Structure 1
Amino acid sequence: MSPAATSTHTPIFDGHNDTLLKLEIDAGAGRERDFFQRSQRGHMDLPRARDGGFAGGLFAMFVPSNPDQDFSKPFNPRDPANYAELPQPDALAFTHSLMARAFRLERASGGRMKICRNAAEIRSAMQQGQVAISLHMEGAEAIDGDFHALEVLYAAGLRSLGPVWSRKNIFADGVPMAFPSSPDTGPGLTSAGRALVTACNQLKILIDLSHLTEKGFWDVASITDAPLVASHSNAHALCASARNLTDRQLDAIRESRGLVGLNFHVAFLREDGQHRSATALDVIARHAAYLVERLGEDHVGLGSDFDGCMPPADLKDVSRLQYLLSAFRNAGMTDAMVEKIAWKNWLRVLEETQS
C-alpha cells in the first residue's frame, strides 16, 4: 500500500528540517506558537505541512553555538560565536529539550503525528495520514566519548546522526559555510569519530555525511557497512560551496546504494553562491537533474533544511512543496521519478540502513 495522497498531492518524506530548533528558540524568546495552528512564522506548522503534502521526515536536533542566530538568514561565517565548540553536558541538555519537544508534539497531536523508530513505522504512519517524525542529531556534540549518551538517545528514538555540523568536535571537523571552496577543508575523523561510525553501524543508526569535510567523508566510506547518505547537500559542480558534494563523492554514494537529499538553501543552489530568495525553482530542478544523471533516479531525495535555511521565494515554506515537484515534471521528469525523489528513495535507504 502506498502512503496516503490526494489526486493533486504526491506525499513527501523530507530528509532534513530544523523545525524543532526553531520552535525551541522561539519559545525561549517568548514567541512560542502552536504548531497545530497556521502561522506565517517559520517554515512549518501542521496545517501548512498538510497543504504541501509533507508526510514526514528527519527532524533534526541541532545545538547552536549561538542560540540567538537566525539560521534562515545570512550570518557572518567569520564570527567565532557562531562556531564555538560546545561542552558535551550542555549539548546533551539542549538535545534533551529538543527531543522532549518532539515527544510533546506527538502527544499533543491527537494521533496526527508519530515518532517512528524504523522504516516500517514510517511507512505505516504515512499510510494512516500521520506525519512521521524520525529523530536525527545534527552534530554529535551531545555524545560522550564512551557513547553512554548514544545508547540512551537511541533507546529514546534517535535513528540518524551527523557526526558534525560546520564546526569541530571530538569526532571530526565540519566544513565551513565557504564559497567558493572545495569541501576538502580540513582533517577527517578522529579516533573517536571512527569509533562513533562503528557504534552507529551496530545500532543501525543512519550516518549523515552532510557537513563533514571531504577527508571525513572518505573516512566514513572506508569504515561503514551502510549506504552513504548526505541528507541535505547539493552538487558542487553546479554551486562551488564547501557544503556541496564533488562528483567523486557522488559516485561513491551511488556505488554504496546511498542517497543525496536536495538542500533548498539558495546559497547552496545558486552558481554565484548568493543569499537571494529571488531564485527560480528551475535552479533546484537543475541540481536534481544533475544528481539523477550522476547517481541514478533511485538515489536522490529531498533534504529541504526548512527552518534552517533561506529557500527560494516560490518555496517559502512547507506548503509550497508541490510547486517544486511540478518544477521537476516541467524539467522532464516522469511521475515515477518524481515519486521516487519525493519519498520512495528515502524509505528504501532507511529500510536498508535500519534492518
Structure 2
Amino acid sequence: MTRPPPLIDGHLDLAYNAGLGRDLTLELGALRARDPVPGQTATVTFDELRAAGARVALGTLFALPRTGESPGGYTDHAGARAQALAQLDTYRRWEDRGLIRLLRSGAEVAEHLEGADGPLGVVLLMEGADPVRDADDLGFWVGAGVRLIGPAWGRTRYAGGTDAPGPLTAEGRDLVTAMRDLGIALDASHLDDAAFWEAAEIGPRLVASHSNSRAFLPGNRHLTDGMARAVAASGGVIGLVFLSPFIRPGWDVAQPRVGLDELAAHARHYAGLVGWEHVGLGTDLDGGFGREKAPAGIGSYRDVGRFLDLLPGEHRAGVAGGNWARWLTRFL
C-alpha cells in the first residue's frame, strides 16, 4: 500500500493561538464550544492536523505589536521578546507532553518524515524580528531552535513591511547579514519591496512562508513576479495563504467566501513563473482569522486536501508537502 504524501504547512500560528486561550489539544467541536476568540471560528487543533495528514509545520513565534485593534500588543523590544519567549515555552511544553516534536535540522526532518506515525513536527519560524535584540542576539534564538526569521510584519526595527513601506534599517542589514552567515533562512512574507530587494542582495536563503501573488492583488503584502523569481532562484518555496481577502481583491466577510479554484489560480500563476517545485502550502489558518474568512469548502483544517484536488495530479504531492520537505531536508 502506497503511503499518502506528507502534508507540510509553511505557516501556522500554533503557540500564538494557545496564548489567546485556545486549547489545541481539544477536539474541534469542544474548542469551538468554549472558544475565547470572538468572531473567528477555529479550524485548527492537533486532531484536525492529524486528520489532514499533516506531518510538519513551520510554527511561528509571533509577537503582536500594539495597534488600534490590539492595544495589549508590544511597544518595545522587551515586550516583543516576552511574547516570543512565552510562545517558545508553549512549544517546549507541548513537546514534553508528546504533542509535537521540535525539529532543528534537515536530518531530523528527514527522520521524522520517514516515521509512519508520531506527533506533529514543528520547525520554528519567527514572524517579525522585533524579539531579537540585535544581530549579536541572533545566536540565542538559533540555540532555541529558530531556523527561519521574517524581519517584518508591519514595520519593525529592522524593515519596512505590510502597509508600512521602507527599506531595511541599518539594524536590519546587520541582522540579515548575520542570518546569512549563520545559515538562518529569511522569510520574505510581509517584507516591503525595498526591504525585500536589499535583503535578497545580501544573500540569505529565501522562502515566502505565506504569500499569494500580487498579480491578483494590489498592495505590498504579496509577492510580485520578480520577488517570486528571486525566492525560487535561491531554491525557496512559496506557501499559499487560505484567506479570502488574500485571494480575491476587494473581498469582505459580507460576501460569499472565495472559491478554492481562485486560490488554485495563484498556484498556477506561480508555477508558470518558477515551476511547481517552488509552490507549497502556507495556509495561515487561524492566523488572525477563522472559518468565516477561509475559502469556501474549508470548514476545518482537515479540508485542506480539497484544495490539492484542484491541482494537476502529478504536482499534488509536491505542493502538499514534497517541495517543503525537499527544502527543509536540504537547507535546515
Q: Same fold (TM over 0.5)?
A: yes
1:160 aligns with 2:148: yes
| Runs (5+) with no aligned partner, structure 1 | 27-31, 67-77, 177-184
Q: What displacement does 1:121 show?
A: 1.0
Whether the aligned pair in 1 keeps the contact of 2:186 and 2:204 (CA below 8 Å) is no
Change over 3 Å in CA distance of 1:225–1:208 after alignment to 2: closer
**Aligned equivalent of 1:114:** 101
Alignment partner of 1:147: what SS?
Answer: helix
Alignment partner of 2:166: what SS?
Answer: coil
Of the three residues 22, 25, 30, the one matched with 1:35 is: 25
Whether the aligned pair in 2 keeps the contact of 1:43 and 1:317 (CA below 8 Å) is yes
**Aligned equivalent of 1:151:** 139
TM-score by length of 1: 0.82
Between the aligned partners of 1:34 and 1:266, the Cα distance in structure 2 is: 23
Q: What displacement does 1:132 show?
A: 0.8
Whether the aligned pair in 1 keeps the contact of 2:24 and 2:44 (CA below 8 Å) is no
**Aligned equivalent of 1:65:** 65
Alignment partner of 2:159: what SS?
Answer: coil
Letter in 2 for 1:33: D
1:43-100 per-residue CA deviation (whole Å, 9 max, x = no partner) reads 221211111111111001111125xxxxxxxxxxx94757976311111111111011
Identity of aligned residues (%): 29
**Aligned equivalent of 2:14:** 19
**Aligned equivalent of 2:304:** 321
Change over 3 Å in CA distance of 1:45–1:84 after alignment to 2: closer
Letter in 1 for 2:8: F
Alignment partner of 2:235: what SS?
Answer: coil
Between the aligned partners of 1:5 and 1:61, the Cα distance in structure 2 is: 35
**Aligned equivalent of 1:341:** 319
**Aligned equivalent of 2:51:** 51
Whether the aligned pair in 1 keeps the contact of 2:11 and 2:282 (CA below 8 Å) is yes
1:188-227 per-residue CA deviation (whole Å, 9 max, x = no partner) reads 101111111111122221110000100011011100142x
Change over 3 Å in CA distance of 1:234–1:5 after alignment to 2: farther
**Aligned equivalent of 1:127:** 114
**Aligned equivalent of 2:193:** 214
**Aligned equivalent of 2:83:** 94
The correspondence of residues 237-252 of structure 1 with structure 2, limited to 5 A, is 237-252=215-230
Alignment partner of 1:86: what SS?
Answer: coil
Between the aligned partners of 2:69 and 2:324, the Cα distance in structure 1 is: 35
Alignment partner of 2:180: what SS?
Answer: helix
Whether the aligned pair in 2 keeps the contact of 1:241 and 1:268 (CA below 8 Å) is no
Between the aligned partners of 1:49 and 1:252, the Cα distance in structure 2 is: 31
Whether the aligned pair in 2 keeps the contact of 1:54 and 1:318 (CA below 8 Å) is no
1:190 aligns with 2:169: yes
| Runs (5+) with no aligned partner, structure 2 | 33-41
**Aligned equivalent of 1:70:** none
Letter in 1 for 2:5: T
Q: Name segments (4+ residues, structure 1) moved above 6 Å.
A: 82-85
Letter in 2 for 1:324: F
Between the aligned partners of 2:132 and 2:245, the Cα distance in structure 1 is: 30
Of the three residues 158, 165, 177, the one matched with 1:171 is: 158
**Aligned equivalent of 1:72:** none
Change over 3 Å in CA distance of 1:156–1:280 after alignment to 2: same
**Aligned equivalent of 1:300:** 279
Between the aligned partners of 1:33 and 1:80, the Cα distance in structure 2 is: 23
Change over 3 Å in CA distance of 1:107–1:5 after alignment to 2: farther
**Aligned equivalent of 2:202:** 223
Whether the aligned pair in 1 keeps the contact of 2:135 and 2:178 (CA below 8 Å) is no
1:279 aligns with 2:258: yes
1:255 aligns with 2:233: yes
Q: What displacement does 1:175 show?
A: 1.5
Alignment partner of 1:161: what SS?
Answer: strand
Between the aligned partners of 2:11 and 2:60, the Cα distance in structure 1 is: 6
Alignment partner of 1:186: what SS?
Answer: strand
Letter in 2 for 1:133: V
Alignment partner of 2:325: what SS?
Answer: helix
Alignment partner of 1:261: what SS?
Answer: strand
Between the aligned partners of 2:71 and 2:223, the Cα distance in structure 1 is: 23
**Aligned equivalent of 2:36:** none
1:269 aligns with 2:251: no
